[in-house]
Chain A
Amino acid sequence: MTARTSRRSTSTQNPHERREGRALTRGERVTLAAIAERIFPATDTPGAVDAGAVEYIEIALAGAYASLRARYRRALREIDLHARQTSGRAFRELDGAGQDRILTDLEAGALSAVKNGADFFRLVRQHVLEGIFGDPQYGGNRDLVGWRIVGFPGQRTGYADAYINRVVDLPPIAADDTSAP
């Protein structure tokens, strides 16, 4: 399965130019989206891209994680370049198995094309999963999809006895949801 991007960019500008307010160029972003989608793929439930993990990371790289932005941009370009040099295609154009092979090498620190690749993989995995399972006000976990997938009923103010050891059949809520009990 190839990466799905839920929002196609309508921009016709140079893909290597960063848009104002964006932490990454369009080219870097599509590579990140493809990586995110392999880390947490769409199945019968949404994957990382539809959950908003890429938006989460871009917002963070422009703010709380700004010190990591240069590292991200460099590694994303190195990964894409490695794909082009070894298979003649951009990382996002590879099939899922081809992408997984590169990511497996990256995780193992066996991709010499990427400086400190194993560390970068740990970082991007962590951030993708933060974007899926974190609080929605940070730009990820769109429609609380991450919480729905695992059965977390959201940032509730408390629980009744009845929920202790059975499936909590309450719809998830965010902490700023005014309908919260």
Chain B
Amino acid sequence: MTELTAFSFRPGASLLHGLDVRFKLVFLVIISLASLKAAPLALCVLTFVLIGVIIDIRLPIKVIFKELRYFLILLLFVFIARMLTTPGSSLIQFKAVSVTLEGVYGGILVCWRLVIIIMIGLSFVATTRPSEIKAAIQWFLNPFPFIPAKRVATMMSLVIRFMPVILDQAKETADAQRARGVENRKNPVYRLRKLVIPLMRRTFESADKLAVAMEARCYSENRTDPGLSSGIRDWIALFAVICLCIIIIKI
């Protein structure tokens, strides 16, 4: 589960911690979209802004890079694929494979944007309580008459809560099967079947227990509404973010 701990709320008193979650969600979307359009100079500007934000939040950068190492490997693959497949003037030629200048440039740009988007997401998640995210999504879904916003919000929070539990159970089941030599079976379908069926059964059993426990605590969809409040600070931040996005797109 350690792979997912980077994306978790960290209490603090930074600027981002103080902003209304609905605004932050909007920022997340528009900055991410703007960064897809950004040229290298704009990416530099965005990177500096982000570094400022991350320092303000006091994210433990070292820990985060360690936890995101698998993602960095993925980025490396993206970079290599981009480098080898983009046509253009070749830098290195080895038999049929050639590394092009345009490929290297394009690869760096794509990876840079992905890192920025991940960092924006991370800053958002690190400064926002899951319950607030849930409340914001409920708020955004409320105007749609055909979506049961409260039910969606409850489902979301249960997913966040039970993901690690289910992953732990999967690991336990896999370990127990390894202890009985499942690795000697080479057929992946057989192994998957033997893993998934007990895991599913256990998950459904926990779901049953969960439903009873929720009932015992008077669960109904008619609950206290989540407390969301916005102030002048949020509107100033919105103005600043829109300016930033215009700069990013225009540079």
Q: Judge: A and B partners, yes or no.
A: no
